[in-house]
Amino acid sequence: MSGYSVTEPSRGQKWIAGILVAGYALITILPLVWIIATGFKSSADSIAYPPKLLFQPTLEGYVNLFTTQTRQTTEYLNANPPQTWYERIVHDRGLVIAGPSRFGERFMNSVIIGFGSTFLSVFLGTLAAYAFSRFKVPLKDDLLFFVLSTRMMPPIAVAIPIFLMFRSLGLSDTHAGMILLYTAVNLSLAVWLLKGFIDEIPVEYEEAALIDGYTRFQAFYKVVLPQAATGIASTAIFCLIFAWNEYAFAVLLTSGTAQTAPPFIPTIIGVGGQDWPAVAAGATIFLLPVMVFTILLRKHLLRGITFGAVRK
């Protein structure tokens, strides 16, 4: 190092910053690592004290998560040797698999409702944001405030009216009902976020497209949308995270057919004692879609979150 720079941090500063960031990363990632590790522990290892850092990994938790089991007599177990690896795992504990659990179904419900409402929020949000951004809408400011105000009330305050409304409309415990509900909640966020992004796209591009022989909608589709990709991606992630993690409405409004994973996962605890590996396995699988979705869109997301911070 020679000389002194105002903008470039010194070696010592870089080390301190590095240690702070690494320490913070460790603190945030640790619970996640613990959940993932617990998913691969045996029941006994999962509640061992002091906690085991090194253990014999097993898929017991995952098998328990996806199946229901019954206890059988030794004669029965001996007469019916296990056919597959997962039958063997339960067989060793004196059990046989009775059938699939409801987790797969609940997980699929989460996927349908989460991604369905995300798509709908972003689709409607983009169109509304474009209109608010580009056209003379009567009472524009009041409408935008109204859109935002739908988010001001805590969800639990409107839970009872929504519950009653859903019951009389026949939307209780349906996929359509949950998609509509999450879309309604997410839409205000989507409209506001996307309006900000679309406002930043100069209107001249659309004017050039109009002159080049395209209609207003074609200009929107071919010129505005590609440039709003960043905003659309980050909005989609925010919407998905909300819809995916939502718990209160899911508990209240779903039970049999449309129940999502968040209210289901805690119920696993009750089945056959405190089965922490199965809960952890459920949590791990539940984490994956949002993680994958975020990683797929991360290039856009990073630009999206810092969007507007630097003016060219």
Partner 1 sequence: MAEVELSDVTRTFGRTSALSNVSMTVPDGAFFVLLGPTGAGKTTTLRLVAGLDRPDSGALRIGGTAVTNLTPAQRNVAMVFQQYSLYPHMTVRENLAFPLKSPLLRTPQDQIDRKVQEVAETLQISHKLDNRATALSGGEMQRVSIGRALVRNPAVYLMDEPLSSLDAKLRADLRVELKNIQARTGATFLYVTHDQIEAMTMATHVGVLDHGRLVQTGPPREIYEDPVSIYAASRLGQPRINILPADLFAGAPSGAKSIGLRPEQIHQGEGEESSVVRVEHLGDQTRLYLSLRNHDLVTVTDAHTPLQSGDIVKIRPERPFYFDASGARIH
- Nearest distance, CB of residue 3 and partner 1, angstroms: 33
- Is 307 a residue that touches partner 1 (CB under 8 A)? no
Per-residue x/- mask for partner 1, residues 25 to 54, rule CB under 8 A? ------------------------------
Distance CA 39, CA 184 (A): 35
Residue placing its CB nearer to partner 1 in the complex, 86 or 205: 205
Return d(Cα 68, Cα 234) in angstroms, integer.
39
Which DSSP symbol is given to 297?
T
Shortest distance in whole angstroms from residue 135 CB to partner 1: 14
Kindly state whether residue 214 participates in binding partner 1, applying the rule CB under 8 A: yes
Angle formed by the axes of helices 11-39 and 276-296, nearest 10°: 130
Q: Contact with partner 1 (CB under 8 A): which of 6, 135, 161, 204?
A: 204
- Cβ distance to partner 1 smaller for residue 104 or 202: 202
Q: Give, to the nearest 10 degrees, the angle between helix 229-245 and helix 103-134.
A: 140
d(CA 3, CA 279): 57
Among 70, 80, 150, 215, binds partner 1 (CB under 8 A): 215
Query: Omega into 31 within 30° of 0, i.e. cis?
Result: no
**Binding string, residues 221-250; x marks residues near partner 1 by CB under 8 A:** --x--xx-----------------------
What torsion do the CA atoms of 9, 10, 16, 22 make, to the nearest 10 degrees? 60
208 binds partner 1 (CB under 8 A): yes
Q: Which stretch binds partner 1 (CB under 8 A): 151-159, 206-214, 245-253, 279-287?
A: 206-214
> Whole-angstrom Cα distance, residue 156 to residue 260?
18
What is the distance between the alpha carbons of residues 231 and 196, in angstroms, rounded to a whole number?
9
- What is the contact surface with partner 1 in residues (CB under 8 A)? 202, 204-205, 207-216, 218, 223, 226-227
